[in-house]
């Protein structure tokens, strides 16, 4: 290597080692990595928890427990909610968020199935009323 017009060689004829980085730069890089690892945590999904619980309550209130398909999805939603709470206690908020989203989706599906069942029952009742009116001679 040339330094100031001269070849600078060490006694064993190897080029001198370059200094890679200052101690301050190394420390800054290490601290940056440590902060990135700690700072990248996901906050507790409290809003998603409340939303999932509300969806489960709504499905219960609509009578999802009386329809077999809706009952299955409601059961899945409750299981996922409990697993998510465990994940939150273990501070695995990313997994908890995914579980809560799935719980909410299953609860909403249970609610939709319960609404379908309710609407079909109302339609059947309306058809019975129409038949009664026909038999009574009302047009």
Say if residues 56 and 71 touch (Cβ distance below 8 Å). no
Which residues constitute the domain of residue 121? 43-136
Is residue 77 one of the residues assigned to a domain? Answer: yes
pLDDT score at 88: 95
The answer to the question of residue 75 being in a domain is yes
pLDDT at residue number 94: 95
In angstroms, rounded to a whole number, what is the distance separating the alpha carbons of residues 111 and 119? 12
In a domain, 7, yes or no: no
Residue 49 in domain: yes
Q: Which of 29, 35, 132, 46 is nearest to 93 (CA)?
A: 46
- According to the per-residue pLDDT averaged within each range, which of 3-7, 41-45, 58-62, 117-121 is highest? 58-62
pLDDT of amino acid 100: 97
Total of domains in the chain: 1
The mean pLDDT value for 4-23 works out to 58
Question: Structure pTM?
Answer: 0.64
Q: What CATH number is attached to the domain comprising 116?
A: 1.20.1270
Classify residue 31: in a domain, yes or no: no
Q: Could you tell me which residues come within 8 angstroms of residue 103 by beta carbon, excluding any fewer than 6 positions away?
A: 52, 55, 56, 76, 77, 78, 80, 81, 84
pLDDT of residue 136: 85
- Whether residue 52 is contained in a domain is answered as yes
Q: How confident is the model at residue 22 (pLDDT cuts 50, 70, 90)?
A: low
**Residue pLDDT, tens place only, 81-116:** 999 999 999 999 999 999 999 999 999 999 999 999
In a domain, 8, yes or no: no
């Amino acid at each position: 290597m040339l330094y100031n017009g001269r070849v600078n060689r060490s006694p064993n004829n190897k080029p001198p080692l370059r200094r890679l980085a200052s101690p301050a730069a190394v420390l800054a890089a290490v601290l940056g990595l440590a902060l990135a690892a700690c700072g990248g945590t996901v906050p507790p999904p409290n809003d998603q928890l409340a939303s999932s619980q509300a969806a489960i309550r709504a499905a219960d209130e609509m009578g999802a427990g009386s329809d077999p398909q809706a009952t299955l999805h409601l059961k899945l939603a409750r299981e996922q909610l409990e697993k998510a709470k465990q994940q939150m206690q273990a501070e695995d908020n990313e997994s908890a968020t995914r579980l809560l989203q799935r719980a909410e989706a299953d609860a909403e599906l249970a609610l939709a199935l319960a609404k379908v069942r309710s609407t079909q029952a109302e339609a059947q009742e309306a058809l019975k009323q129409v038949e009664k009116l026909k038999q009574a001679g009302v047009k």
